[in-house]
Each structure stands twice: as structure tokens, then as C-alpha cells.
Structure 1
Amino acid sequence: MTSPHRSARNVSPDQYPSCTFQPGFGRIARKAPFDRTPDEIIRMYTVMKNMKAFERFSHRMRMEISKTARYSCCEKGRVILRQGHVGHNFYFIYSGSVFVQVDVEDDNTGVLTAGTTLVMEKGACFGELALLVPGGKRTASIICRETTELFEIEKETFLEVCPDIFERELSEKMDAVLQHEFFQQWPKDRLERLCFESRIEEVMHGRVIDPDTANTDTLYFVLRGKITILKAFSPRQKLANLNIKKRDKLPHTTPDDRCFMKIAELKEGEKTELTALRTGDVSTDPGVMLVSNGVRLMRMSKQKLERFAPRGLVERLRRQYKPILVVPKEDDLLLRYQSDVDWQKFKSNICASLNKELRRLAITDQ
């Protein structure tokens, strides 16, 4: 990742060739709000309505945001927000993407380690947490992963127009976690704080949510839709049983000979496993990939969960928790893979035989 200390600058859409707007729009977007004409506000609205996060707001809220939003185009490596700084603005990503980087302090040494928790892409929004609390500070650093176009809303406008949306989302988060017994034991104020710092996200069908849950700090709660759970393995070691030569490409595998087998689904009201809460623990999570089937989910930091949890509750969880997801062993996955390969070969042979017979009949009829 590009160093967060790299010097970078904002550029206008008329100056930077990678920015996606037509020449002249930057003049409208950078105008002081009271200088925009009604037609210019409508043009702002037309551009901004293409962002997924914009859909969360009512028509009245969208119009107010369109009146006051300012445009910027930031180069790769630009630090937009820095963890620990006081929050002043709310942001929409019109194009490009950003890293979300959280500095984690080691309990023993006090040394801070920077880690990228996720990537946010076009259509997303960020920066609300520090604005909703008096004197609120940024909980993460946001760094441009590439040239990124943003719409920026000042704190005063945000607090006047937007809080109702996030209050409703907080209620949605609380309803989701209270479906699980572990969270029913929490005091309300601590649970609200944890939910407040958790993030709701809409993930399109087919997008990878998490490539390996064994190496993540995140718990995922399904609010709506489904998540497919895949387990990676390599069938190359069983080539003798599969009747495939070493030089041949294995069916249904990636270039590095890995295969991803569906082992389960997460549905509305379900969550991922509560294992290895603290970073640095030896994970008991077997490690699976999560892929969206079109899902609205909540991301919750395991570190924050441990920080806000009532005293002793996490330790009891570690001693007593029994994983819900049973991940098949590799031998079982290989048997399923072999069965699938054999079935595909059988179907292919049947289709080839039918096509051959149909061609023969066609020639006979002539």
C-alpha cells in the first residue's frame, strides 16, 4: 500500500485526465452552496444519484446534499482521513477506491501496527462516526488506493440533514445482534457503542466479502440476502485417483490449482463465527471465503467487541464456545471434487454421443 505520508494534492476534474466528469462540472461542484443556481443543483443531483450510498437518503435529504456537496479528485496515496483526528466532513466515493487502515496497539509493547481492514469502492460513503459524537475522532485512516473522486459534506450540513438515517441504522444493528444469545448479556450502553462503531454495507452479487476468515478482524452479520461460504483446497495431490496427468489443467480450478467448494450459506439473521477475537490469538477458525449472493450486512470489529464487552464475558466465550459451522476435511472435499469431475465427464460424454447420433440421423434422412 502507498505510504500514508506521501505528498499528494487535490485536483479538479478539468485538470486531471483520469477524472470522469465532463469539462465544466468541477466549476459547479466547487461553487459555494449559496452561489449555485437551481439548474446547477439539479445537475449535482443527477450526478450524485448514481452512487449506491445516496439511495439511503430521502429525496429532501438528497436535494440538501446536492446543494452543499463539494467535489474533489484525489491522487493515489492521498490521506483523506487520519485515525485519531477530529472529524469535520462526510464523504461519498463517486469513482475510484480507498483503503481503510486501522492502527492497532500491542497490549504488551504499546507499538502501533497499521493494517488494512477493507477496501471501499465507488458508491460507498464514510466519515459519519466522528460527526455523530460531540468531539468525535476518526476511528480509521482513509487512504486513496487509486485516483478517487469524492463528494464532501461539511459537518454542519451533515448534522442538520443526515442523523435520522444513522439512528435508524443503529436500531437495525441492535436488532441484528440481539438475535444472538452472547449479545443479550450485554448492558445496553456498551452494546449501542459497539453497534454504533460497526458498519452496514450493501455488497453486490458475486463480490468477495472476505477471502479468508481465519485472518480477519471482522464478524459479519447478515441483515438481508445471503452469503455463500466457500472452502479452498488443492486436488492436485490426488491426481492418480482422478486419472489426470500432471501437465494437464485440473477442471474447475484456478491457475494455481486451487478449487473453491461451496460448503454452506449464511442467511438473514445469521453471523460468522465468534472465534479468535483478539488479533494475535492462534485462530481456531478453519478459514473460509465469503462471497455475496446479494447481501446487506454489518461488519463488526472483533477488537472493538473485546474492548466493549462486559468483563469476563469474552473469556467465558472462549472456554465454552462451540463452532456452528462444520467445515469438511480436505479428504471429504476431494471426494466431492472427484464426484463432480466424474459427473461432468459423464454429462459431456452423453451430450457428445447424442450429438453424434443426431448428426447420423440427419444424414440418413437426407
Structure 2
Amino acid sequence: MKTESNSLFSLLAKTRDTRAEFECQQHVHWFRNKSFLFRSLKPEIVADVIRHCEYERKKKDDVLIKQGDSGDRLYIILRGSVSVYVIHDQKDNPADVLKQVNAACNGPDFDRSELGQYVWTGGEGKCFGEVALLKEDCIRTATVVADGDTDLVIIDRNLYNRSVKDVLEMEYNLKTKFVEENTLFKTWPIKQKKLLVVALKKESAKYGSYLLRQGSIADHMYFLLSGEIEITCDQSQFKRQYPELWREMETLLPGLLPRRHSETPHERLKRKKLQRKVLQMCLLGSNESVGVYK
């Protein structure tokens, strides 16, 4: 896989008019596996994207997109990651927003907090910047910054119109419908709803995979569109997760905790088995959410 990706980067580093058709065909399968955007496209369309896209490599803290600026291209991450920031308060005028972003980018000490609220981090296979191509005003709705060395495929408007337009428009319309119909966002202002649509990303999880792990930092909220999610709890992690509460329990409610100094070997073995037991809490289905409380 690494050899194939290096071969692809070497191909993309060539000028578009020197990329041979057979070379592009060789990487269609890799591209389709890398990003959902290409999975439903015909192989010849993916090959066309590979042959005519642009390729860039960015370094940490390089600003790829500025909120309030005009846009006519979308990006797909081949390697690395980017973070997205949005200025919510004040300024309905894109020119004023762009002025603030430029001031933050051109200052002596680059501070991401001046780019607005952190919204989302995208890694390999994710795309961003498509909203400017979906909307008529072509104004960027967020600022995007590279988190480290990042390899990007760039699709301009002409290539977009003949390749991925239908896929992205369908996804954008589905996200808009979800926000409009969800009672949780019923009282939100129109501007906030539009920003939410931009931030939402549709993902698929395979059977048995983990969305959230107990004890890890929760930085995402998930809305379940279809399928089921099982919620489990590993009680052996409570002491590590809640050390202060555990100390209070040891002081105030010693009778509820095991008396380890007087345990028999059988009692100790039984306690350890119970601590390792993973409890099945519940199942979540369509229209329910995960990660609301963190």
C-alpha cells in the first residue's frame, strides 16, 4: 500500500499533460478506497480526476482556505490532516470576516483561536471546500489550516462539474434536510443551521467497530441515521476515570468497596472477574445521538 501511494504521489507531481492514461487507470482502485467521494463514481470518471486534478503539499499551520474569501476549488486529503475554524459572532459581511482572518494569519504570532471556533478535524480521504462550489455566492464559510505535512488533491470548478458535483450536491441536500427536520435544531437561527450543515460529515461504521471508547476524550457528537449502536460500560475503569469521586467513596462509603486486606483468594478472584465485566447498557437506533454529554 505504501509503495502504491508513493507511486501515486509521483504521478500527481507531474504536470497534468504528462500524466499517462494507463498510469491514472492503475490508481483508480486506490482512489476509490481512499475516499467515499469516489466510491460511487465510474472508474473512467475517477481516472479523469486523477489525470486532471492539481496536487499540493502543505506544512503545519499553512492556511488553505480563508473564511470570507471567494472559492472555486475543493480539496481531498490524501495524507495528513486539517482543522476547520468558523467565526460565528458579529460580522455578516464576508469582507469584514476576511479582514479578521487575514489579520490573524499575517500577525507575528499565529494564533488559531483568532480564526474563530474550532469545528472539525479531517484526515485521510476527507474532502473540504466543496460548499463554495455548491453555493452560488462562492464565499468560503470557514477557515482551514493544515495540522502537519499534508498532501492534497485539488479539484477546480470545471473538473468538479463533470465528476463529483452530483455526489456532493446530494450529500449537501441530505445534510440540509436532516438539520431542518431535526427537532433539536428547530429554534436555531438560519445562519447557525447553515454553519451546522457545513460542519456535519457523513460517515459509515462497520459492524463491531468503535465510535467512542470509554475513558478517551470525546470531541465529536454522532447522530445515528440507520443501524444500531451498542452502549457498554467497563466498571474496572471507574477508579482511573473518577479518582476524586473514588476517594470520597473510600472515605464516606467504605462498606460499598471491597476490603482487600481481608479478602480470601476466592473473594479476590471473584472481585477481579466482576471488575473486568463489561456491562451492556442499551442499544441506540435511528434518530438517536451519541456523545452529547462529555
TM-score, structure 2 normalization: 0.63
AA in 1 matched with 2:257 = L
Aligned 1:130-145 pairs, distance under 5 A: 130-145=132-147
Aligned 1:191-206 pairs, distance under 5 A: 197-202=198-203, 204=205, 205-206=209-210
> Is residue 76–residue 153 contact of structure 2 (8 Å, CA) maintained in 1?
yes
Tell me by how many angstroms 1:20 deviates.
8.5
Aligned 1:27-46 pairs, distance under 5 A: 27-46=10-29
Q: Deviations for 1:103-160, whole angstroms, at most 9, x for unmatched residues? A: 34369xx996633222211121111001112341222222122222221111221123
1:236 alignment counterpart: 246
Task: Note closer, same or farther for the CA distance 1:196–1:113 as it changes in structure 2 (3 Å cut).
Answer: closer
1:352 alignment counterpart: none
AA in 2 matched with 1:199 = L
Higher strand share: 1
Q: Does 1:89 align with 2:73?
A: yes
AA in 1 matched with 2:200 = R
**Larger relative contact order (Cα-Cα within 8 Å, sequence gap ≥ 6):** 2
In structure 1, runs of 5+ residues without a counterpart are: 1-17, 253-259, 274-284, 289-366
What is the rounded CA distance, in whole Å, between the counterparts of 2:223 and 2:55 in structure 1?
33
Equivalent position to 1:120, from 107, 119, 122: 122
Q: Secondary structure at the match of 1:63?
A: helix
Tell me by how many angstroms 1:270 deviates.
2.8
Q: Deviations for 1:49-92, whole angstroms, at most 9, x for unmatched residues? A: 33132444411432321221233222222222222221132111
Tell me by how many angstroms 1:173 deviates.
2.8
Q: Secondary structure at the match of 1:142?
A: strand
AA in 1 matched with 2:76 = F
Equivalent position to 2:45, from 48, 61, 75: 61
Q: Secondary structure at the match of 1:87?
A: coil
What is the rounded CA distance, in whole Å, between the counterparts of 1:242 and 1:223 in structure 2?
41
> Is residue 59–residue 150 contact of structure 2 (8 Å, CA) maintained in 1?
yes
Aligned 1:194-343 pairs, distance under 5 A: 197-202=198-203, 204=205, 205-208=209-212, 211-212=217-218, 220-227=222-229, 234=242, 236-237=246-247, 238-239=249-250, 240=254, 241-243=256-258, 265-271=283-289, 287-288=293-294
In structure 2, runs of 5+ residues without a counterpart are: 92-96, 101-113, 261-270
Tell me by how many angstroms 1:43 deviates.
3.0
Percent sequence identity over matched residues?
A: 21
Task: Note closer, same or farther for the CA distance 1:194–1:142 as it changes in structure 2 (3 Å cut).
Answer: closer
* Alignment root-mean-square deviation, CA: 4.2
Higher helix share: 2
Task: Note closer, same or farther for the CA distance 1:198–1:225 as it changes in structure 2 (3 Å cut).
Answer: farther
AA in 1 matched with 2:169 = E
Tell me by how many angstroms 1:191 deviates.
10
> Is residue 53–residue 159 contact of structure 2 (8 Å, CA) maintained in 1?
no
Q: Does 1:48 align with 2:31?
A: yes
Q: Does 1:98 align with 2:82?
A: yes
Task: Note closer, same or farther for the CA distance 1:271–1:155 as it changes in structure 2 (3 Å cut).
Answer: same
1:329 alignment counterpart: none
Q: Deviations for 1:230-284, whole angstroms, at most 9, x for unmatched residues? A: 8986252323322267xxxx979xxxxxxx98765542233469xxxxxxxxxxx
Tell me by how many angstroms 1:170 deviates.
3.4
Task: Note closer, same or farther for the CA distance 1:158–1:55 as it changes in structure 2 (3 Å cut).
Answer: closer
1:151 alignment counterpart: 153
> Is residue 74–residue 156 contact of structure 2 (8 Å, CA) maintained in 1?
yes
> Radius of gyration: which is bigger?
1
Q: Secondary structure at the match of 1:117?
A: strand
What is the rounded CA distance, in whole Å, between the counterparts of 1:103 and 1:261 in structure 2?
42
With 50-59 and 134-143 compared, the bigger mean Cα shift is at 50-59
Q: Secondary structure at the match of 2:224?
A: strand
2:109 alignment counterpart: none
Q: Deviations for 1:297-351, whole angstroms, at most 9, x for unmatched residues? A: xxxxxxxxxxxxxxxxxxxxxxxxxxxxxxxxxxxxxxxxxxxxxxxxxxxxxxx
